[in-house]
Amino acid sequence: MIRNDQSGNAEKAAHFAEQSRHFAEQSRQANAAIARVRAVHVPIDALNVRANVEQKVCTGCGTDDGNWQTWPCPTERAITEATS
Ligand SMILES: [Zn+2]
Protein backbone atom coordinates (compact mmCIF):
# COMPACT_ATOMS: atom_id res chain seq x y z
CA MET A 1 0.00 0.00 0.00
CA ILE A 2 1.33 3.40 -0.95
CA ARG A 3 0.65 6.31 1.40
CA ASN A 4 1.52 9.90 1.09
CA ASP A 5 3.95 11.32 3.66
CA GLN A 6 1.34 13.18 5.67
CA SER A 7 -0.76 10.09 6.17
CA GLY A 8 2.32 8.07 7.20
CA ASN A 9 3.45 10.76 9.64
CA ALA A 10 0.02 11.00 11.21
CA GLU A 11 -0.02 7.23 11.61
CA LYS A 12 3.44 7.28 13.22
CA ALA A 13 2.43 10.13 15.53
CA ALA A 14 -0.67 8.22 16.59
CA HIS A 15 1.41 5.10 17.18
CA PHE A 16 3.96 6.99 19.31
CA ALA A 17 1.18 8.70 21.24
CA GLU A 18 -0.38 5.30 21.97
CA GLN A 19 3.01 3.91 23.03
CA SER A 20 3.54 6.91 25.28
CA ARG A 21 0.15 6.37 26.95
CA HIS A 22 0.99 2.68 27.38
CA PHE A 23 4.37 3.43 29.00
CA ALA A 24 2.82 6.08 31.23
CA GLU A 25 0.20 3.57 32.40
CA GLN A 26 2.89 0.95 33.02
CA SER A 27 4.87 3.48 35.03
CA ARG A 28 1.78 4.45 37.04
CA GLN A 29 1.06 0.79 37.81
CA ALA A 30 4.69 0.09 38.79
CA ASN A 31 4.77 3.12 41.11
CA ALA A 32 1.45 2.06 42.66
CA ALA A 33 2.83 -1.46 43.22
CA ILE A 34 5.96 -0.07 44.88
CA ALA A 35 3.85 2.17 47.11
CA ARG A 36 1.69 -0.79 48.17
CA VAL A 37 4.75 -2.91 48.95
CA ARG A 38 6.30 -0.06 50.93
CA ALA A 39 3.04 0.32 52.89
CA VAL A 40 3.59 -3.25 54.16
CA HIS A 41 7.32 -2.86 54.84
CA VAL A 42 7.51 -0.06 57.39
CA PRO A 43 10.28 0.43 59.96
CA ILE A 44 9.31 0.40 63.64
CA ASP A 45 11.38 0.55 66.80
CA ALA A 46 11.81 -2.73 68.65
CA LEU A 47 13.82 -3.96 71.60
CA ASN A 48 16.38 -6.64 70.87
CA VAL A 49 16.12 -8.47 74.20
CA ARG A 50 19.27 -10.55 73.62
CA ALA A 51 21.47 -7.50 73.05
CA ASN A 52 19.24 -5.16 75.11
CA VAL A 53 19.30 -2.52 72.41
CA GLU A 54 16.60 -0.78 70.45
CA GLN A 55 16.71 -1.31 66.74
CA LYS A 56 14.48 -0.75 63.76
CA VAL A 57 12.67 -3.77 62.37
CA CYS A 58 10.32 -4.28 59.43
CA THR A 59 6.58 -4.63 60.07
CA GLY A 60 6.22 -6.84 56.99
CA CYS A 61 9.10 -9.26 57.40
CA GLY A 62 10.04 -11.98 59.79
CA THR A 63 12.87 -14.44 59.95
CA ASP A 64 12.74 -18.25 59.91
CA ASP A 65 13.37 -18.33 63.66
CA GLY A 66 10.32 -16.17 64.36
CA ASN A 67 12.08 -12.86 64.93
CA TRP A 68 11.54 -9.58 63.16
CA GLN A 69 13.71 -8.74 60.17
CA THR A 70 16.02 -5.83 60.91
CA TRP A 71 15.53 -2.67 58.89
CA PRO A 72 16.12 -2.14 56.06
CA CYS A 73 14.66 -5.53 55.18
CA PRO A 74 15.63 -7.35 51.95
CA THR A 75 12.47 -6.09 50.23
CA GLU A 76 13.20 -2.46 51.08
CA ARG A 77 16.84 -2.87 50.01
CA ALA A 78 15.77 -4.41 46.68
CA ILE A 79 13.32 -1.58 45.95
CA THR A 80 15.87 1.06 46.95
CA GLU A 81 18.56 -0.49 44.77
CA ALA A 82 16.22 -0.84 41.80
CA THR A 83 14.89 2.71 42.01
CA SER A 84 18.06 4.66 42.80
ZN1 LIG B 1 10.18 -5.94 55.00
Ligand 1 geometric centre to CA of 69 (Å)? 7
Are residues 16 and 47 located together in one domain of the fold? no
Ligand 1 geometric centre to CA of 59 (Å)? 6
Identify the helix (H) or strand (E) that includes residue 25.
helix 5-40
Domain that holds residue 62: 42-84
- 58 CB burial (10 A radius; 0-12, 13-18, 19+): buried
Ligand 1 geometric centre to CA of 71 (Å)? 7
**Tens of pLDDT, residues 70-84:** 999 999 999 999 989
Are residues 71 and 55 located together in one domain of the fold? yes
pTM, to two decimals? 0.75
Are residues 34 and 48 located together in one domain of the fold? no
**Tens of pLDDT, residues 5-56:** 777 899 999 999 999 999 999 999 999 999 999 999 999 999 998 899 999 9
Are residues 25 and 49 located together in one domain of the fold? no
Are residues 47 and 63 located together in one domain of the fold? yes
Are residues 36 and 47 located together in one domain of the fold? no
